[in-house]
Structure 1
Amino acid sequence: MSAILSVEQVGVRFGGLVAIADLHFDVREGEIVSLIGPNGAGKTTAFNVMTGFLKPSQGEVRFRGTGLTDLQPHEITRLGLARTFQRTSVFPDDTVFDNVMIGLHRQGAQSRRAPLLDALIGRAGASERRLRARAEALLDWVGLSERAGEKAGALAYGEQRLVGVALALATEPAMLLLDEPVSGMNASETQVFVSLIRQIRERGITVLLVEHDMPMVMEVSDRILVLNYGRLIAEGPPDRIRSDPAVIEAYLGQGKAARQAAAEVQEPAHA
């Protein structure tokens, strides 16, 4: 499998603070890869560099061979690299269905360079019917069809995150970056999301995720990348990461919550 995303000796500095140092890795087409590490390790900073929200101090990120350093986030999305965010960003007073429709209209307006307002109040017709059918399909894909008519702000936090995934999938990405996707979800919701990630991969979309839920990471990942203090300290399949001394040490030195995460890293993944 060829690399769809390449991070090449990327560094990020904020004044005298080094957030990322000499980060380098590839993600191959069709993989599910997780980026993990203790709090403050640089995971979200790396995501922000990959998606154009932050410019690296050094190095380069390439997506399908195209350098991303000089591109804006919406230009990167058009190339086929989409992301979700740690915090939900739904329109709370609009229905779940209308949230997805707004996302689809916005995408269409950008691709046609038309004003968003024109897209939102445009004539009903074949194009509008296609958008509505696509919105229904996306909601069915993420398991929210039955909630389509409810206000997005009334959904549970985990369900709001699924709306964000639907909006990212609406861009028809070749690769999807998920930033702490199961944060706020209970165990059963997390298992549903694991199935969704696998379905996304089955449809030909490569997945890179940042996540603190170690059992979920161990279950869903083909490979795991481990950051600590902005540096890549380990890389490999879950079984190797689970027993890696550098990974265990990184978590054990970070307080009670991190020690719990280290214990979860060492537990066998459940089926």
Structure 2
Amino acid sequence: MSAAPILRIDHVGVRFGGLVAIADLHFDVAEGEIVSLIGPNGAGKTTAFNVMTGFLKPSQGRVLFKGEYLSRLKPHEISRAGLARTFQRTSVFAADTVFDNVLIGLHRHAEPPLLDRVVPARRRADEARLRARAREILELVGLASRADELAGSLAYGEQRLVGVALALATEPTMLLLDEPVSGMNASETQVFVRLIRRVRDEGVTILLVEHDMPMVMEVSDRIVCLNYGRLIAEGAPAAIRADPAVIEAYLGKGGAARELAAEVQG
């Protein structure tokens, strides 16, 4: 891992009128890490993602990606800089094939030189390159055998994989996953865990928001926990698993805390 973080959340705050959604959030993500951002409902996780990806401007603080201040950039510019995200809901082109979904994503992101657009031979070569890359991405996410099927006909978990493929079509160096296994069964979740590791092995840093605690404990190098918009814990899964503040934030004290402890112990 590099010495400088690929992503730095530098004392970020977000307010909506008198409501404080995030208060003084600060953490780093190193290149090559898988980091999970967790917390109970309303903790500020998706708000933090929206700040990182340019959909919200922070009321205070700053977000730096590869040393660049993201508050200066629009969402599509942040994506082009190499920071991509998925969303909580599936967002696929249901009437197009799985292959065409990825190809559409590649076309939207790619901007070939003028000569490649106007010279037929170069245009054909560029199209062949994009089609080959689409096949590589589908192989990576495990959907190569479904390439010719309509995206809308796939099971829910597979549609989530198409969403990841669309994000990967932007050729990111970092990927933000917003509740990627929400609604998945146990076998689909395990497929997704393997995918996250494969994507990291391809050189993409991962930051994810997720409520599935056993999955988070299994896949994360490090975990950051929020409650009421504030950072309450940060560390390796073993430390977060035993952190009293984390357990209390989720389920309170007493018997509920013991239930959570039993769950995350797996």
Q: Is the 8 A contact 1:38 1:228 kept in 2?
A: yes
Q: Is the 8 A contact 1:35 1:208 kept in 2?
A: yes
Q: Give the match for residue 206 of structure 2.
A: 207
Q: Secondary structure at the match of 1:125?
A: helix
Q: Give the match for residue 54 of structure 1.
A: 56
Q: Secondary structure at the match of 2:110?
A: helix
Q: Is the 8 A contact 1:49 1:55 kept in 2?
A: yes
Q: Which runs of 5+ in 2 are unaligned?
A: none
Q: Is the 8 A contact 1:142 1:166 kept in 2?
A: yes
Deviations 1:206-237 (A, max 9, x none): 10000010000000001000000000000001
Deviations 1:138-188 (A, max 9, x none): 111101111111111111111111111011111111111100111121111
Shift of 1:267: 3.8
Q: Return closer, same or farther for 1:225/1:266 CA change in 2, 3 Å cut-off.
A: farther
Shift of 1:269: 5.1
Q: Which runs of 5+ in 1 are unaligned?
A: none
Q: Is the 8 A contact 1:215 1:264 kept in 2?
A: no
Q: Give the match for residue 164 of structure 1.
A: 163
Q: How does 1:1-271 map to 2 (within 5 A)?
A: 1-2=2-3, 3-109=5-111, 125-253=124-252, 259=256, 263-264=259-260, 266-267=262-263
One-letter code of the match for 2:188? E
Runs of 4+ in 1 over 2 A off after TM superposition: 262-270
Shift of 1:266: 4.5
One-letter code of the match for 1:148? A
Q: Return closer, same or farther for 1:22/1:145 CA change in 2, 3 Å cut-off.
A: same
* CA RMSD after TM alignment: 2.3
Q: Secondary structure at the match of 2:72?
A: coil
Alpha-carbon distance in 2 for matches of 1:73, 1:60: 15
Alpha-carbon distance in 1 for matches of 2:183, 2:150: 19
Deviations 1:215-270 (A, max 9, x none): 0000000100000000000000111111101011101149x9xx59x834544555
Deviations 1:56-86 (A, max 9, x none): 0010000011000120011111111111111
Alpha-carbon distance in 2 for matches of 1:247, 1:202: 29
Alpha-carbon distance in 1 for matches of 2:98, 2:230: 39
Q: Is the 8 A contact 2:241 2:265 kept in 1?
A: no
Q: Return closer, same or farther for 1:87/1:8 CA change in 2, 3 Å cut-off.
A: same
Shift of 1:204: 1.4
**TM-score, normalised to structure 2's length?**
0.91
Q: Is the 8 A contact 1:42 1:230 kept in 2?
A: yes
Q: Is the 8 A contact 2:174 2:204 kept in 1?
A: yes
The aligned length equals 259
| Aligned residues with identical type, % of pairs | 73
